[in-house]
A and B are shown apart, each in its own frame.
Chain A
């Protein structure tokens, strides 16, 4: 089952750490967001192959798709 990773809060995409097609494990950092004056890593909650749906500098709203793990 594909795991959709969505933004938990409004944030700027500060860094994209992984590339499309990378194999990731539960706990790996995918993207680092900047919100509430903090750098907040977004981590995988499942093992699989990742597709990143955001670019550095994007603004994401709560619920926006950040990445998909399959």
Chain B
């Protein structure tokens, strides 16, 4: 591979030109193309993103709609292999109709080799995809194999287009509804980030590449402030709230939320904490009461495995009433998909600290990076409650016969007494502290400091595995 510097051609105005797109992605004046001008339909380049070295490839939508032939596929494979050798992030800019029909099976073989290169690189360097136009067939599975998928308003991802859908199933659907940012951002979970336009999509890619490519070092001394993280939470323990302001207060500066609209009952955010890149996982009581369900467990599991494979420490904010009950959940595989989260946490070797803010009940308590799954440290706020289930629910199970035998007029008094007793015996956080599943009870205002201390005391480690798109 040769490095050639390409002078800026001011006459280039077509926004679909891959060079224009790569110039927007990289810092000004840092782009060096890796491949000469050819008809392959792919341009690859290296450059800096916010000062951090990175490699990128872009399909050329001005040539045959960005269709991928064997030569273009080889360029992508070379770019990915180079990124792995140099341990730098690799960004793919997609606008492609898939494999070149005219080339036939040889093009399919090329696309397959791109997939194989992506999987070889998985978990070794961060792979980011930016989808700026239609990405069909091979162009769809390429982004889907990478760590982070970003879609602009014009991005469309689908396996088969509207015409094929119509001819086979009779469904009348346009490209946007079939595979636009709305369905992939909210329904399918294919896209991690959706943006209005092309420049903001490339800007998000820059943020993610910087976060994952230049992770920094944790510096507890820099956490001098005593922000009260509970400030945005309601005083009533039964009131649901949005956890996102809590995540924002935890981080040094606002992070990048992934899958914000898909499975919103769990929040997954990349951001800086005490100067270092971390992944934050938080139950969001605003949605489904913060319950874990099949798809949110899967979303969190993939995030945990991505962070582990790229050496990003984790902070887990727990406020979870349990798993969502119901026939739908069981049939959707809450057992199989929930098991992924247990597996992901238990397998993770990066430093990972848990904070229980309000409640952690039952199986969902275990799943949210509990001590038993190998958490580096587990902290709880004084208001926290860790139990198999809420006290009143527990009383109904434990004292069913006693309550039934009691005269109806005295039943509520008895129930209240039993709940109080249950809370004293099993509720709160003291019992959890006693048996060692919580390391310490900390104040909301010292949370950042204590988490920073726990993360920096833990040896740096990185999971030796890929990041399969669970």
Residues of A with Cβ closer than 8 Å to B?
8-9, 35-41, 43, 45, 62
CB pair B328–A40 under 8 Å, yes or no, is: no
Q: Which of B321, B324, B328 contacts A38 (CB 8 A)?
A: B321
How many pairs, one residue from A and one from B, have CB atoms within 8 Å of each other in the complex? 37
**Apart from the given pairs A9-B289, A40-B288, 8 other A-B contacts in the complex at a CB distance below 8 Å:** A9-B288, A9-B291, A36-B291, A38-B238, A40-B240, A40-B285, A40-B286, A43-B286
B286 closest partner in A (C-beta)? A41
* Distance of A30 from chain B, by nearest CB (Å): 13
Q: Which of B238, B261, B291, B326 contacts A39 (CB 8 A)?
A: B238
B240 closest partner in A (C-beta)? A40
CB pair A37–B286 under 8 Å, yes or no, is: no
Q: B390 — which chain A residues lie within 8 A by C-beta?
A: 37
Task: Give 1 or 0 for each of B299-325: 1 = CB within 8 Å of chain A CB.
Answer: 000000000000000000000011010
The CA of A38 and the CA of B289, in the complex, are separated in Å by: 7
The CA of A62 and the CA of B239, in the complex, are separated in Å by: 20
B287 interface residue (CB < 8 Å to A): yes
Residues of B with Cβ closer than 8 Å to A?
236, 238-240, 261, 285-289, 291, 321-322, 324, 326, 328, 390, 392
CB pair A8–B288 under 8 Å, yes or no, is: yes
Q: A37 — which chain B residues lie within 8 A by C-beta?
A: 238, 321, 390, 392
CB pair A8–B287 under 8 Å, yes or no, is: yes
CB pair B289–A35 under 8 Å, yes or no, is: yes
CB pair A38–B288 under 8 Å, yes or no, is: no
* Distance of A45 from chain B, by nearest CB (Å): 8
* Distance of B224 from chain A, by nearest CB (Å): 32
The CA of A39 and the CA of B285, in the complex, are separated in Å by: 9
The CA of A61 and the CA of B261, in the complex, are separated in Å by: 21
B359 closest partner in A (C-beta)? A38
Question: In terms of DSSP, what is the predominant structure of the interface of chain B?
Answer: loop
CB pair A39–B286 under 8 Å, yes or no, is: no
The CA of A41 and the CA of B287, in the complex, are separated in Å by: 8
Q: B288 — which chain A residues lie within 8 A by C-beta?
A: 8-9, 40
The CA of A30 and the CA of B326, in the complex, are separated in Å by: 25
The CA of A38 and the CA of B321, in the complex, are separated in Å by: 9
A40 closest partner in B (C-beta)? B240
**Given A37-B238, A40-B240, A41-B240: A9 and B324 interface contact (C-beta under 8 Å):** yes
Q: B321 — which chain A residues lie within 8 A by C-beta?
A: 36-38
CB pair B289–A36 under 8 Å, yes or no, is: yes
* Distance of B362 from chain A, by nearest CB (Å): 12
**Given A9-B324, A62-B326: A38 and B286 interface contact (C-beta under 8 Å):** no
Ordered by A's residue number, 6 sampled pairs between the chains whose C-beta atoms are within 8 Å are A8-B288, A38-B238, A38-B321, A40-B286, A43-B286, A62-B328
Q: A43 — which chain B residues lie within 8 A by C-beta?
A: 286
* Distance of A67 from chain B, by nearest CB (Å): 16
Q: B261 — which chain A residues lie within 8 A by C-beta?
A: 45
Q: Which of A9, A35, A38, A45 contacts B239 (CB 8 A)?
A: A38
The CA of A8 and the CA of B288, in the complex, are separated in Å by: 6
CB pair B240–A38 under 8 Å, yes or no, is: yes
B234 closest partner in A (C-beta)? A39
CB pair B287–A38 under 8 Å, yes or no, is: no
Q: A41 — which chain B residues lie within 8 A by C-beta?
A: 240, 286
Q: B322 — which chain A residues lie within 8 A by C-beta?
A: 36
A39 closest partner in B (C-beta)? B239
CB pair B326–A38 under 8 Å, yes or no, is: no
The CA of A35 and the CA of B186, in the complex, are separated in Å by: 23
Q: B324 — which chain A residues lie within 8 A by C-beta?
A: 9
B326 closest partner in A (C-beta)? A62
A11 closest partner in B (C-beta)? B289
* Distance of B285 from chain A, by nearest CB (Å): 7
A36 closest partner in B (C-beta)? B289
The CA of A46 and the CA of B171, in the complex, are separated in Å by: 27
The CA of A36 and the CA of B239, in the complex, are separated in Å by: 11
* Distance of A49 from chain B, by nearest CB (Å): 20
* Distance of A13 from chain B, by nearest CB (Å): 15
* Distance of B65 from chain A, by nearest CB (Å): 28
A43 closest partner in B (C-beta)? B286
The CA of A37 and the CA of B328, in the complex, are separated in Å by: 21
Q: A35 — which chain B residues lie within 8 A by C-beta?
A: 289
CB pair B326–A40 under 8 Å, yes or no, is: no
* Distance of B392 from chain A, by nearest CB (Å): 8
The CA of A43 and the CA of B392, in the complex, are separated in Å by: 28
Among A37, A38, A39, the most chain B Cβ lie within 10 Å of the Cβ of: A38
